[in-house]
Amino acid sequence: CYSHPFWLANKSKPTEYWDYENSVLDFSSIEPYECIQKIGRGKYSEVFRGRNRNNGEICVIKVLKPVKTKKIHREITILQNLYGGPNVVRLLDVAQEPQTETPVLVFENVDSQDFRTLYPKLSSFDIRYYMYEILRTLHFAHSMGIFHRDIKPHNVMIDPTQRKVRVIDWGLGEYYHHGTGYNVRVASRYYKGPELLVGHRMYDYSLDVWSLGCVLAGILFRKEPFFQGKDNIDQLVQIANVLGKDDLLAYCKKYKIKLDREFDELIVKQNKPKVTFQQLVTPSVAKMCEPVALDLLSRMLVYDHQERILPHEAMAHPYFDPIRAEAAATAAAA
């Protein structure tokens, strides 16, 4: 009998909170904003660093590509509902290009460092600090009935000079309604949970914990991405090479999931034994891969989404003792 603390989060909210399909958007003028430099190009947008001429503030301008109105409403209402939450990127304005009627999202700017250069430089304390901050964001979003569904290093902006973290790109975010089947074509391949890879639509918030577990594994083992599948099928094979096939089969049995025949050849017949994370530790990563870190990791990277540690439970894990101790000392000094 599975009970997630935020199963019914949207039941206690008014319909307008989650009913994005019927939300009415109020667009402001694009006139105050000028683009300075292109900083990113995603599947769904072009992103610029820009300036608000009215107050001189530097901002980030995300010009959406023509995608379904429904998706646009979903992203905007999620950003509005989560506004001001811990480390949630702040949506400052929603404008519209007058000719094309293209929606333009204006965000606070984060001077983030590329994760490829940042992650290798992080100390053990830094890793704990940033992970704890992202878990706070997930706990908050989930408590608000929302899951991100695309957690990956590219969507976690970190400015190490200010120790600032922002979770961005809520474009695949969704409102969770218990008993609803969701599209499994979400998240980026290397961060897709087993539930997505086996096509189990009845997944929930715990998907974000898997994805974050992949990020943590990548940092600890200095292997980004940690599970690097060539395609979705190979992605599950890569996972099974570490977590083993027995637990995967037990997971499928529990939820009456039928694995594709291809998996049968690749996973079941290979009969690879489960390895512990400890067995994967090499001398060069031993410093970061302390047993307490691997213990947390082994609770995040669990096939069965219902058995994965919850964000607030993860925050209470001994791995974060130094973070909680520092926060308590700061509070006492204030």
* Interface pattern 142-181 for ligand ATP (x via CB under 6 A): ------------xx-x----------xx-x----------
- Taking each helix axis as running N to C, give the angle between helix 291-300 and helix 206-220, from 0 to 180 degrees, rounded to the nearest 10: 150
Distance CA 217, CA 288 (A): 10
Per CB under 6 A, does 63 bind ligand ATP?
A: no
Q: Greatest CA separation found in the chain?
A: 64
Task: Tell me the window of 3-11, 102-110, 191-199, 219-227 that interacts with ligand ATP (CB under 6 A).
Answer: 102-110
Among 25, 27, 42, 124, binds ligand ATP (CB under 6 A): 42
Distance CA 124, CA 118 (A): 13
Residue 331 structure tokens: 């509070």
Exposure class string for 91-103: b at 16+ Cβ within 10 A, else e = bbbbbbeeeeebb
Residue 214 contacts residue 191 (beta carbons within 8 Å): yes
Give least dist CB 109 to ligand ATP, A.
Answer: 5
Any bridge partners for residue 82, and if so which? none
Give least dist CB 246 to ligand ATP, A.
Answer: 35
Per CB under 6 A, does 189 bind ligand ATP?
A: no
Q: How many other C-beta atoms can be found within 10 angstroms of the C-beta atom of residue 36?
A: 12
* Interface pattern 81-100 for ligand ATP (x via CB under 6 A): --------x-----------
Nearest to 79 by CA among 96, 62, 98: 62
Between strands 28-29 and 164-167, the pairing is unpaired
How many residues line the site for ligand ATP (CB under 6 A)? Answer: 21
Q: Any idea what DSSP says for residue 30?
A: S
* Residue 150 annotated among the catalytic residues of the structure: yes
Backbone angle region of 324, left / alpha / beta, with phi > 0 → left and psi within -120 to 50 → alpha: alpha
Among 9, 47, 122, 309, binds ligand ATP (CB under 6 A): 47
Q: Could you identify the residue written with the tokens 């929603």? A: 94
Give least dist CB 71 to ligand ATP, A.
Answer: 10
Give whichever of 171 and 193 is closer to ligand ATP, judged by the CB atom.
Answer: 171
Instruction: Please report how many Cα atoms fall inside a 13 Å half-sphere around the Cα of residue 227, on the Cβ side.
Output: 31
Task: Tell me the window of 38-46, 78-86, 210-218, 237-245 that interacts with ligand ATP (CB under 6 A).
Answer: 38-46
Nearest to 139 by CA among 328, 299, 310, 327: 310
Give whichever of 40 and 322 is closer to ligand ATP, judged by the CB atom.
Answer: 40
Residues in CB range of 12: below 8 A, 6 or more apart: none
Give least dist CB 159 to ligand ATP, A.
Answer: 9
Among 77, 81, 87, 109, binds ligand ATP (CB under 6 A): 109
Per CB under 6 A, does 297 bind ligand ATP?
A: no
Give least dist CB 161 to ligand ATP, A.
Answer: 14
Give the residue at shortest CB distance from ligand ATP. 42
Residue 189 contacts residue 235 (beta carbons within 8 Å): yes
Any bridge partners for residue 60, and if so which? 49, 107
Give whichever of 43 and 269 is closer to ligand ATP, judged by the CB atom.
Answer: 43
Give whichever of 13 and 154 is closer to ligand ATP, judged by the CB atom.
Answer: 154
Per CB under 6 A, does 39 bind ligand ATP?
A: yes
Catalytic residue from among 19, 93, 114, 150 = 150
Q: Which residues are catalytic?
A: 150
What residues line the site for ligand ATP (CB under 6 A)? 39-40, 42-45, 47, 60, 62, 89, 107-110, 112, 154-155, 157, 168-169, 171
